[in-house]
Amino acid sequence: MIKVAEVDDIPVGEVKIFEVEDIPVAICNVDGTFYAIENVCSHDDAPLGEGKLRGTEIECPRHGARFDVTTGEIKRQPAYAPIKTFPVRIENGAIYIDISKY
């Protein structure tokens, strides 16, 4: 697990973008629960972290594809493949993610 941020760095309903060992990652705060996704839309490589987070869905800022941040599942096209998700652990107010299976 790699420390990425502090819990207080990402308010509820917001997304922050990070580079973790050269992997683009977006961390989403959904009602106090944190989810980490690869920050790349499967449709045209747009940065998902710049899109809108609505509940557990994030919308690509370019063409409106939507993904479930809890599973990576496609919720709306034009995306054609799910996105990668990463396990998250919170410890002592810090957010850690596991990118070992990337």
Give me the CATH number covering residue 27. Answer: 2.102.10.10
**How many domains, in total, are found in the chain?**
1
Has residue 76 been placed in a domain?
A: yes
pLDDT given at position 25: 98
Has residue 24 been placed in a domain?
A: yes
Has residue 6 been placed in a domain?
A: yes
pTM: 0.94
Q: Which amino acid is at 86?
A: F
SS3 8: helix
How do residues 71-100 score in pLDDT, each as one tens digit? 999 999 999 999 999 999 999 999 999 999
Has residue 102 been placed in a domain?
A: no
Range of the domain at 92: 2-97
**What is each CA distance from 85 to 24, 40, 82, 92, in whole angstroms?**
11, 11, 9, 22
Has residue 32 been placed in a domain?
A: yes
